[in-house]
Amino acid sequence: MQAKIVKIVPGGQGIATLDNGKKAFIWNALPGEVVNFDITKDKHSYCEGVATEIIEASPSRIAPKDDCYLATSPWQIMDYDYELEQKNSLVKECFAQQHIDVSPQPTVTDGKDFYYRNKMEYSLYWNNNDSCIYPAFHERGTHRKTPIKQSSIERPEIWQKASEIFAKLNAEHAEARTYQSLLIRCDQSGNTSGDLFVNGQPHPIMQNLHDTLCGQEYSYSPNGFFQINLPVYEIVLQEIAKHIKTQKVLDLYAGVGSIGLSVARNKDLTLVEVNGAAYEEMQKNAANLPNAKCILEKSENVTDYISPDCTVILDPPRAGCDKKLIDRLNEVKPSSVIYLSCNPITQARDIALLSNSYKITQLTPYNFFPRTPHIESLAILELC
Residue 170 burial by CB count (10 A; 0-12/13-18/19+): exposed, middle or buried?
middle
pLDDT at site 143: 80
Structural domains for the chain = 2-61 (2.40.50.140), 82-113+210-383 (3.40.50.150), 119-207 (no CATH)
pLDDT tens digits, one per residue of 251-280? 999 999 999 999 999 999 999 999 999 999
- Beta strand segments in the chain, E: 2-4, 7-8, 14-17, 23-27, 34-42, 46-56, 119-127, 132-138, 145-147, 179-186, 192-198, 209-213, 216-220, 248-252, 268-273, 292-296, 310-314, 336-341, 358-366, 376-383
Phi and psi, residue 243, nearest 5°: -105, 10
Question: Measured at the alpha carbon of residue 121, what is the angle toward residues 367 and 116, in degrees to the nearest 5?
Answer: 30
pLDDT at site 142: 77
CB atoms within 10 A of CB 157: 18
Please list, in sequence order, all residues whose beta carbon lies within 8 angstroms of the beta carbon of residue 326, skipping any fewer than 6 positions away. Answer: 350, 353, 354
Averages of pLDDT over runs of 10 residues in the chain (384 residues) are 95 95 96 97 94 98 95 96 98 97 97 97 95 92 85 95 96 95 97 96 93 94 92 98 97 96 97 95 94 97 96 97 97 97 98 98 98 97 96
d(CA 133, CA 125): 5
Whole-model pTM: value is 0.95
Angle between helices 344-353 and 80-96 (to 10 degrees): 30
Angle between helices 344-353 and 323-332 (to 10 degrees): 40
The conformational region for residue 255 under phi > 0 = left, psi -120 to 50 = alpha, else beta, is left
Please list, in sequence order, all residues whose beta carbon lies within 8 angstroms of the beta carbon of residue 47, skipping any fewer than 6 positions away. Answer: 18, 22, 23, 24, 25, 39, 41
The conformational region for residue 278 under phi > 0 = left, psi -120 to 50 = alpha, else beta, is alpha
pLDDT at site 224: 86
Phi and psi, residue 274, nearest 5°: -95, -25
d(CA 272, CA 305): 10
d(CA 258, CA 287): 13
pLDDT at site 139: 85
Q: Which residues pair with 211 in a beta bridge?
A: 218
Q: Using an 8 Å Cβ cutoff, are 379 and 100 in contact? A: no
pLDDT at site 149: 85
